[in-house]
Chains A and B, each alone.
Chain A
Amino acid sequence: MHIIESGNVAAATGVRLSRAQVIAAYPITPQTPLTEKLSEFVESGQLDAEYIPVESEHSAMAVCIAASTAGTRAFTATSANGLLYMVEQLHWAVGARLPIVMCVANRGIGAPWTVWNDQQDTISQRDVGWIQIYANDHQQIIDSVIKAFRLAQTVSIPVMVCYDGYLLSHTYMPFDQPEQSQVDSFLPAFAPEHFLDPENPGNFNTVTLPDVRPDGVGVIAPGYIEIRHNLQEDLRAALDTFVEIDKDFEKEFGRGGNPLIEEYRCDGADFVAVCIGSLSYQLRDVIDIMRDKDVKIGVMGVQMYRPFPDKAIVAALKSKKCVIVFEKALSYGNQGALYADIKAALYSSDKKPLVHNYILGLGGREIRTQQLLDALTESCTSPDTFEDTPRWLGLKL
């Protein structure tokens, strides 16, 4: 059914429909209403789950790790400094191959303190091994949460669904809320092969040697590097798995088709703006203005950032004249994170576009249509004049 609700409630509803069993979360702006809604769902009986009001984000992920190891579907949510407080646990959940799902309402990180949106929190954690899906609007938030639970338990890798703080978390949009029966049919119950079980005792995540080592009956068990190698292989394979899951989703719910990237008016375009999150929809207005002036330009949103969909991106961009990457984050001391990833992906391609980089919106600095239009116009009229370094949009001093 169609409802009008906030992005946070869209996320919470996705968690409810996915029948999460253990939820542990610590409130942090702008995720807080998501946490509150989940506690309301649990206390009212709409969601049959254990809700643990933990005393910190590190503990929130600790509860999820333990509950997942014990065989239940676990969920948490956070933002910014809360995400960073649990970083040790993020690595743990990945190495333990636990299908935990987490929502992150993207917010800038202190210092200095900010509560407003940028994506440095999750982008700075791109190397951990969590799968990262970014939603562009409320429909994508609720759909991605449901898909995330299915993906996580299929590949045994935790998944974070990220959406822009305030811009999506707190705004209200109409979207379709799926029926419980549809979600049940799409998302089977979590039934892991190995879990904490007195009938089948095992010791999870013990100290693992650098080298392989035989077990009690002489079977050689992997060392740390093999376990991590398996993770990387499975992460790369998850790209194709997610495409298949998205196809199943489309069959069940009638929506989908853009699991890895989402393109708008890129057909026949010479120029493509690329970004992550709700900005890609904001850019569509600018694309329309420029198309009206006969500039052959489109915009591409990166929907799955990790694992990095390099093949899809290269296929979409390699024949373009120029690609302009807008980012609400960067790899400090180097360049924009997505900018560097795209250039690396294009490195071995026979054809390559020029690539430009804009850093904008940090700490919630407002992004105006006119600014985007001016930046894209300059990129399109003089693409060769850009240096291989980010430009910053919207600085005032």
Chain B
Amino acid sequence: MENQTTILNLTEEEFVHQGNRACSGCGLSIVYRIGLKALGKNTILVVPPSCLTVLQGLYPVASTKLPCVNVTFASTGAAATGVRAAMRALKKENVNVVAWAGDGGTGDIGIQALSGACERGEDIIYICYDNEAYMNTGVQRSGTTPQGVLTTTTPIKGKLQEKKDVPAIIAAHGIGYVATASAAYPLDFYDKVKKATTLPGPKYIHVHTPCPPGWSFDTRFTIKIGKLAVQTGLFDLYEIENGQFRLTGASKNLIGKTRLPVTDYFKTQGRFKSLDKILLKKVQERVDAKWAKY
């Protein structure tokens, strides 16, 4: 898939107000801002507890210009189902029903409801912004935290287990559209969201979202670091449309080329500082093996 959208033709309309409570340099802010541009006004959002809850603001001021319902942590997939059921009952068509959840609310506590929604084939878009820990509550480890990463609940040894591959779990449900994206490649993400609005059934987009306080890097490097994750082959941009897998954008451009070594990515963030040589070697081997199959 080639990027249809360019910076110049990307809409200027903003759906998020300025002066919200997101951290300075927040990767989610970029993802949310761009994603809402792709979704447009005819959209209802469903949001569980997460950084987005804070970004959206405290009662009575909302930083989002779209209707939204906040829901309990485990229920996002089911709540989105409920909104869509209401739209059908009220014969309101052409409304996007979009769930925005973090990695915890998607792959850990929220996975049951999402699995149910996928199995039922609900007509929803589900966007998971993956900042690789429970950031809203202060950087505790999640299922998608990569191996070796220091978090407040893996403070010395780093996470022992590998990153949970949530997009693969969702793809195993056989839904029509699963994609990965990155905050660092907003136009690729925009086009994927736009495409999702035209497709039936469940659509799942998993967005790699750098987090300056959680990953320990200076706020100005959010985009740089997101790009490094892709350029090292650690995080791949892809689509699975009706079972057909293809790399997109910057990942597609990497096929057959030399990737940057994974250490280039790890050395930029304090959260990787306890990675030892053995684990570094293992990770590089895993990445090389994965790319050998593309």
Query: A residues within 8 Å of B by Cβ?
Result: 21-22, 24, 49-50, 52-56, 58-60, 62-72, 74, 88-89, 92, 196-198, 200-209, 213-216, 221
Whether A66 contacts B79 by the Cβ 8 Å rule is yes
Q: Which residues of B contact A70 (CB under 8 A)?
A: 44, 69, 82-83, 86-87, 90
Give the distance in Å from the alpha carbon of A84 to the alpha carbon of B69 in the complex: 23
Partner of B75, one of A89, A198, A205, A208: A89
Whether A55 contacts B82 by the Cβ 8 Å rule is no
Give the distance in Å from the alpha carbon of A58 to the alpha carbon of B113 in the complex: 9
The chain A residue sitting closest to B65, CB to CB, is A201
Q: Which residues of A contact B72 (CB under 8 A)?
A: 58, 62, 88-89, 92
Q: Which residues of A contact B46 (CB under 8 A)?
A: 66
Whether A50 contacts B85 by the Cβ 8 Å rule is yes
Q: Does B116 contact A (CB under 8 A)?
A: yes
* Smallest CB separation, B36 vs chain A (Å): 12
Give the distance in Å from the alpha carbon of A203 to the alpha carbon of B88 in the complex: 21
List 6 contacting pairs A-B, 8 Å CB cutoff, sorted by A.
Answer: A21-B89, A50-B85, A54-B81, A65-B71, A71-B90, A196-B68
Q: Which residues of A contact B44 (CB under 8 A)?
A: 70, 196, 198
Partner of A198, one of B41, B58, B119: B41
Interface centre among A49, A50, A197 (most CB of B within 10 A): A50
Q: 1/0 per residue B92-122: CB within 8 Å of A?
A: 0001000000000000000011011001100
Give the distance in Å from the alpha carbon of A55 to the alpha carbon of B57 in the complex: 31
Give the distance in Å from the alpha carbon of A197 to the alpha carbon of B95 in the complex: 10
Partner of A53, one of B41, B53, B69, B120: B120
Whether A54 contacts B78 by the Cβ 8 Å rule is yes
The chain B residue sitting closest to A55, CB to CB, is B116
Q: Which residues of A contact B81 (CB under 8 A)?
A: 24, 52, 54, 59, 62-63, 66
Give the distance in Å from the alpha carbon of A63 to the alpha carbon of B75 in the complex: 8
Give the distance in Å from the alpha carbon of A213 to the alpha carbon of B58 in the complex: 9
Q: Does B80 contact A (CB under 8 A)?
A: yes
Q: Which residues of B contact A69 (CB under 8 A)?
A: 69, 83
The chain A residue sitting closest to B46, CB to CB, is A66
* Smallest CB separation, B90 vs chain A (Å): 6
The chain B residue sitting closest to A223, CB to CB, is B59
Q: With A65-B71, A216-B61 as given contacts, are A56 and B112 in contact (CB-CB < 8 Å)?
A: yes
Whether B120 contacts A66 by the Cβ 8 Å rule is no
* Smallest CB separation, A193 vs chain B (Å): 14
Q: With A66-B82, A203-B70 as given contacts, are A54 and B116 in contact (CB-CB < 8 Å)?
A: yes
B36-81 residues with Cβ-Cβ distance < 8 A to A are 41-44, 46, 53-54, 56-62, 64-72, 74-75, 77-81
* Smallest CB separation, B20 vs chain A (Å): 12
The chain B residue sitting closest to A50, CB to CB, is B85
Give the distance in Å from the alpha carbon of A53 to the alpha carbon of B122 in the complex: 11
Whether B113 contacts A55 by the Cβ 8 Å rule is yes
Give the distance in Å from the alpha carbon of A297 to the alpha carbon of B163 in the complex: 69
Whether A202 contacts B43 by the Cβ 8 Å rule is no
Top 10 closest A-B pairs, CB basis? A66-B82, A55-B116, A59-B78, A70-B86, A62-B75, A63-B82, A62-B78, A221-B60, A203-B62, A50-B85
Given pairs A55-B112, A63-B85, 20 additional interface contacts (CB within 8 A): A24-B78, A50-B86, A54-B78, A56-B112, A58-B78, A59-B75, A59-B113, A65-B69, A65-B71, A65-B75, A66-B81, A70-B69, A70-B87, A70-B90, A89-B75, A92-B72, A196-B69, A203-B67, A204-B68, A209-B59
Q: Which residues of B contact A202 (CB under 8 A)?
A: 62, 67-68
The chain A residue sitting closest to B122, CB to CB, is A52
Q: Which residues of B contact A24 (CB under 8 A)?
A: 78, 81-82, 85
Partner of B83, one of A67, A205, A209: A67
Whether A197 contacts B67 by the Cβ 8 Å rule is yes
Give the distance in Å from the alpha carbon of A48 to the alpha carbon of B65 in the complex: 33
Whether B59 contacts A213 by the Cβ 8 Å rule is yes
Q: Which residues of A contact B77 (CB under 8 A)?
A: 59
Interface centre among A24, A58, A59 (most CB of B within 10 A): A59
* Smallest CB separation, A320 vs chain B (Å): 45
Whether B58 contacts A208 by the Cβ 8 Å rule is yes
Q: Which residues of A contact B113 (CB under 8 A)?
A: 55-56, 58-59, 62
Whether B43 contacts A56 by the Cβ 8 Å rule is no
The chain A residue sitting closest to B87, CB to CB, is A70
Give the distance in Å from the alpha carbon of A55 to the alpha carbon of B81 in the complex: 12
Q: Which residues of A contact B78 (CB under 8 A)?
A: 24, 54-56, 58-60, 62-63, 66
* Smallest CB separation, B63 vs chain A (Å): 9
Whether A50 contacts B58 by the Cβ 8 Å rule is no
Give the distance in Å from the alpha carbon of A55 to the alpha carbon of B173 in the complex: 14
* Smallest CB separation, A82 vs chain B (Å): 14
Whether B71 contacts A203 by the Cβ 8 Å rule is no
Whether A66 contacts B71 by the Cβ 8 Å rule is yes
Whether B83 contacts A198 by the Cβ 8 Å rule is no
The chain B residue sitting closest to A74, CB to CB, is B82
The chain B residue sitting closest to A206, CB to CB, is B59
Give the distance in Å from the alpha carbon of A50 to the alpha carbon of B46 in the complex: 19
Whether B67 contacts A209 by the Cβ 8 Å rule is no
Partner of B90, one of A65, A68, A72, A206: A72
Whether A59 contacts B85 by the Cβ 8 Å rule is no
Give the distance in Å from the alpha carbon of A221 to the alpha carbon of B60 in the complex: 6
Q: 1/0 per residue B196-233: CB within 8 Å of A?
A: 00000000000000000000000000000000000000
Give the distance in Å from the alpha carbon of A298 to the alpha carbon of B284 in the complex: 81
Q: With A53-B120, A196-B44 as given contacts, are A66 and B83 in contact (CB-CB < 8 Å)?
A: yes
Whether A62 contacts B62 by the Cβ 8 Å rule is no
Q: With A66-B69, A206-B56 as given contacts, are A50 and B83 in contact (CB-CB < 8 Å)?
A: no
